[in-house]
Amino acid sequence: MTRLTPGGTNVSPSLPPTCRRSIGRRGFAPRTGSRRGRERSKALFHSNDPRLDTNKQAAYHIVRDLLEAGHWELADKYLTERYIQHNPNAASGRDGVVKYFTEVRKVKPVPIPAKMKTEVVAVVAEGDLVVVAYVRALKDATTTWFDMWRFKDGKADEHWDPATRTGP
């Protein structure tokens, strides 16, 4: 059940207060295509809690350096060797996910951008988990995608996303 805030925003009472504040007046985080949105996106990857901040920063670099820029040679900085992968298209283990992106998807590295280009809707961290939600444009619609990582000693040790098996 949602409720209407005085500013007109529908907010789920089950969201923690920090998430309700980050949603903003219009009911969503600003898109990162704008300068304000990019600054907001970067701010989402920080926390006053040192452990959560470390994990959010690792998630930021996974998205920007690995997923956006394709620098999978840096994977050992952000992923554990045993990296458990719940995406059915990639094998578990750091080597398995690197192989998936470099050999199966044939991702080629590009310069790492100064600022993330991905449109981030929310970053939620609690305990050893970090969830990043993104705007995802499809051919005929716009939706949301997410990645969730469990961190161990500042590196992603396990990953979930909504992917389903592709190919034959």
Q: Where are the domains positioned within the chain?
A: 1-30, 33-160
Q: Which of 60-64, 77-81, 117-121, 157-161 has the lowest mean pLDDT?
A: 117-121
pLDDT value of position 118 = 87
Considering only residues 10 and 48, tell me which one the structure prediction assigns the higher pLDDT: 48
pLDDT, mean of residues 24-47: 57
Determine the average pLDDT of the residues in 26-55.
Answer: 69
pTM equals 0.75
What would the DSSP string read from start to end of 103-154?
A: IIS-----PPPSS--S-EEEEEEETTEEEEEEEEE-SS-EEEEEEEEEEETT
Q: How confident is the model at residue 164, as a pLDDT?
A: 80
> What's the pLDDT score for residue 88?
87
Measured between alpha carbons, how far is 168 from 154 in angstroms, rounded to an integer? 36
Residue range 104-112: average pLDDT?
95
Compute the 3-state secondary structure of the chain and give helix, strand, coil in percent, each to the nearest 5: 30, 25, 40
Local confidence band at 38 (pLDDT 50, 70, 90 cut-offs): low
Q: What's at 82, amino acid-wise?
A: R
Q: Which of 107, 144, 141, 106 is nearest to 124 (CA)?
A: 144
Instruction: Say what the pLDDT of residue 158 is.
Output: 97
pLDDT in tens, 43-80: 899 999 999 999 999 999 999 999 999 999 999 999 99
Given a cut of 50, whether residue 154 has pLDDT beyond it is yes
Across the chain, mean pLDDT equals 81
Class for the domain spanning 33-160: alpha beta
Q: Tell me, what's the pLDDT at 42?
A: 77
| pLDDT band, residue 89 (cuts 50/70/90) | confident
**pLDDT above 50: residue 8:** no
